[in-house]
A and B are shown apart, each in its own frame.
Chain A
Amino acid sequence: MKKLFWKCALFCFIITALCAFFLFLSVKEPFRPMIARLTSCEDFMDESGMLPGFEKAGQQDQTTQLVTGDSICRQLFAPLEQYNPEKRVLATNAALMMPGQYLLAREYLQSHPETTDVFLVMHPLTLTRTFDLEWGYRYAAMTYVETDTLQYLDESTRNAMEGAYGAFFLRKDTVWMIENSPICRKLGLNYMNTHGKPYEQSHSFEIADLYVVRLYNLCRENGARLHLYSSPVAEYYREEMAVLAVEYQETRMSSLFPDYMEDIWYYPDEWTEDLSHFSGEYAQRERLNEIIEQAYGQTPLWEGLDVVPSDADYTYK
């Protein structure tokens, strides 16, 4: 029996060592893409796209206004950054969630003590996002861990993430492996999908409410002013927005931004293909400028905003 035991132990050791070596190679170039192809993990090689925003936020420059928000905000304002030297546009994606927007703005405020305004442009549905199994781990939780900003979140938020994803998946080394090894990412995300449990908010704006208020206070401490606006919303969602507006009134952020839901600018469904972003001719710069003027013309966001000349041609990608 001992002989068999040692044989099995040796066999297991060899297999484990070979697997560990294979994993090691999977994070190293030029083996990474080869191993991804071999193990059918090509879909797990993309970057989240969130980290550059945090790097940019930390860079010192002459900007004094931050424009941030979801991907609709990015579509509207990102191309205008080069024409507005006082504005830094760091809009990313709804998947970053409100805690991520808070951390991003915090990073910006720390490196820009002269900041006067922070413009937060978010679709109401973005503000209802929770730590789900679809995007929440990959784009929110992993970003917070990778940027070393998890510590600045509220304990209740960290607990919510731990409950949804497990403490193991919030460790820096785990996140590093999932980010850099397509094998680990495939295994990790699929494991999450099966064993994770999305965080259930007590009301639709639970997580966002906490961080909008925190951001508001943070801005005040830094001598800046926080502005919260809704992204333009397709007509399709009008009824849903009416329901959300009632819940919004119960939040703390409604006392700071009472007009957020009231000032939503609605557009026809034909202007969009995915009911979120503008498409076709409405994605052309000229139309986007018109949309910005119509949606935000009465707000400080529009004041002093230089839009791209009409003969330029920018399409949202």
Chain B
Amino acid sequence: MALLSFGFLFFMAVVVAVHYALPRRFQYIWLCLASLFYYLAGDVRYFAGMAFCTVATYVTGLLLGRGDGRGKKALLFSCMGVHILVLLLFRYPPAKSVLAPMGISFYALQAMGYVIEVYRGNIKPERNPVRYAVYVAFFPTVTSGPIQRAPGLLPQLREGTDFDYDKVHSGLYMLLWGCLLKQVMANPLGRMVDHAYGNYADMPGAALLWATVLYAVQLYCDFAGYSALAIGAAKILGFDIGRNFEQPYFAASVRDFWKRWHISLSSWLKDYVYIPLGGNRKGKCRKYGNLMVTFLVSGLWHGSGLNYLVWGGIHGIYQVLEGCIPRRDGRGCAAYRMVRGVVTFALVDFAWLFFRADSVEQAFSILHRILFCFQFKEMTYYGSYLMGRTKTELCLLLAGIVLVFFVDFLHERRISIEGFAARRIPPVVRWTAYIVLTLGILLVTLREFGQGAASFIYTRF
């Protein structure tokens, strides 16, 4: 069951109604049943992977809570080792018949994070197996994140939640925004990028560059849209699960970008890979080595192809090079900040080229065409910049991109659109806007329906 489906809306309505009707101490039981239903609705065969991960980490957590120092480390490494092996098995399956459980890359990290936190003594092991199962399989986040931290989610599950009008209202806003990002922006952009990358040998380099820029927007809208849906769904149930994106393309450096992009994964890697390796506490060489390893791990996590490893390696190199450049005091003037932002975007987008390409060879072929077969005039003359769209559609998409970045700009300035709308805009106007937005989403969905619109890019991770 996709987060973006009528079935999910109906499912959510039932789950929310029962959730708030139950006493808080029993809510986690209902959430467990709902999460199980949601997950198995995808494929019953996924259950084995989920069950193994849940039981293994639950038991490990209990044992870690009891064990002494000597045995604890071995237990931790054994648990981590088994889970890493399982992830590698599904990343590099020995046979095509091996079915990777949906979301395993996400919930496995979530479960491993719990074990590490127990090992470190930051939290006590969760004794209630049902509550722990909800933590691992929490349905808004189980398939594509955001990756939750045990100290954040488990206490909320223990407490339960009361109905909070403002929270639920905010959650509904996020659902609407997530739908808009995914359906109105990501899907149509995805088709354009697929068109360009699928015919890259015949496309002018200028069009491929254009497609690569659009891919940066597509990926952001797709994943931020999904995250907004997940966060919104959790919020409606009364749970705060943290933001996953903080206006990433407003970053002033690649280091800053990784504080804003897929925050749940980058912070997980920082806390459980980079810092345990030594972080920046063992000298500069070791620090750069740790950064490279962390980003290579990130690349591996994203996919089994060499192109993902290259993508991770590129970001590692960026981090190392930024470390070598002396930092400038103060923020600088607006023009300087803008230049930095553009340069950062260009660097990140260069790396996205490898992320999007089917292989390293294809990535280099596309790069070659961008550099040596630019053919800007041909692109404009033959209209290859349209990539299967009409001019009107392209204009509307560009307007949508402007809107998305305008909203990001407001958020960057800490201006809450939701708060502004509630205070300044009359209810009739607000409702009209909601209705128009919803109808717009439905219209674009209908236009794109049956056109091979992509499911969430990160679902396959």
Complex interface: chain A residues within 8 A of B168 (CB): 4
The answer on a CB contact under 8 Å between B447 and A14 is no
B449 at interface by CB-CB < 8 Å: yes
Contact A39 B450 (CB under 8 A): no
Asked if A18 is at the interface (CB within 8 A of a chain B CB), the reply is yes
Q: Would A186 and B443 be within 8 Å (CB), given that A4-B168, A4-B169, A14-B435 are in contact? A: no
Q: Which of A4, A19, A40, A190 has the most CB of B within 10 A?
A: A40
In the bound complex, CA of A249 to CA of B439 (Å): 58
- Nearest to A40 among chain B residues (CB) is B447
Residues of A close to B439: CB separation below 8 A:
15, 18-19
Measured between beta carbons, the chain A residues less than 8 angstroms from B434 are 11
B268 within 8 A of A: no
Given contacts A3-B165, A4-B165, A39-B443, contact A186 B435 (CB under 8 A): no
Chain A residues with a Cβ closer than 8 Å to the other chain, count: 19
A3-B165, A38-B443 known; A186-B449 Cβ under 8 A: yes
Given contacts A11-B434, A15-B435, contact A186 B446 (CB under 8 A): yes
Q: Which residues of chain B are near A15, meaning CB under 8 Å?
A: 435, 438-439, 442
Please give the distance in Å from A34's CB to the nearest CB on chain B: 13
| Cβ of B163 under 8 Å from chain A | yes
What is the CB-to-nearest-CB distance from B73 to chain A, in angstroms, rounded to a whole number? 49
Interface string of A211-241 (1 = CB under 8 A from B): 0000000000000000000000000000000
- Contact mask for chain A residues 181-200; partner B; CB cutoff 8 A; 1 contact, 0 none: 00100110110010000000
A190→B450 contact, CB < 8 A: yes
Take A1-B20, A4-B169 as given contacts and tell me if A183 and B446 are in contact as well, using a CB distance cutoff of 8 Å.
yes
Enumerate B424-461 residues with CB–CB distance to A below 8 Å: 431, 434-435, 438-439, 442-443, 446-450
Interface size on B, residues (CB 8 A): 18
List which B104-118 residues lie within 8 A (CB) of chain A.
none
Closest-CB distance, B10 to chain A (whole angstroms): 11
Residues in B whose Cβ lies below 8 Å from that of A18: 435, 439
Interface of chain A residues 100 through 115 with chain B (CB within 8 A): none
Q: From residue A21, how far is it (CB to closest CB) to chain B in Å?
A: 11
Contacts of A14 in B (CB 8 A): 435
Q: Which residues of A contact B447 (CB under 8 A)?
A: 39-40
Q: How far is the CA of A1 from the CA of B20 in the complex (A)?
A: 9
Binary interface profile of A, 1-25, with partner B (CB < 8 Å = 1, else 0)? 1011000100100110011000000
Nearest CB in chain B to that of A5: its residue:
B17
| Closest-CB distance, A33 to chain B (whole angstroms) | 16
Query: In the complex, A179 Cα to B16 Cα: how many Å?
Result: 39
Q: Which of B1-49 contact A (CB under 8 A)?
A: 20
Taken together as a complex, chains A and B put the C-alpha atoms of A41 and B446 apart, in Å, by: 9
Chain A residues lying within 8 Å of B169, measured Cβ to Cβ, are: 4
Residues of B within 8 A of A (CB): 20, 163, 165, 168-169, 172, 431, 434-435, 438-439, 442-443, 446-450
A-B contact pairs, 8 of them (CB 8 A): A4-B168, A14-B435, A15-B439, A19-B442, A41-B446, A183-B446, A186-B449, A187-B446
Q: Given A1-B163, A15-B442, 5 other A-B contacts at CB below 8 A?
A: A4-B165, A14-B435, A39-B443, A183-B446, A186-B450
A-B complex: 8 closest residue pairs judged by Cβ atoms: A190-B450, A40-B447, A39-B446, A1-B163, A15-B438, A39-B447, A4-B168, A4-B165
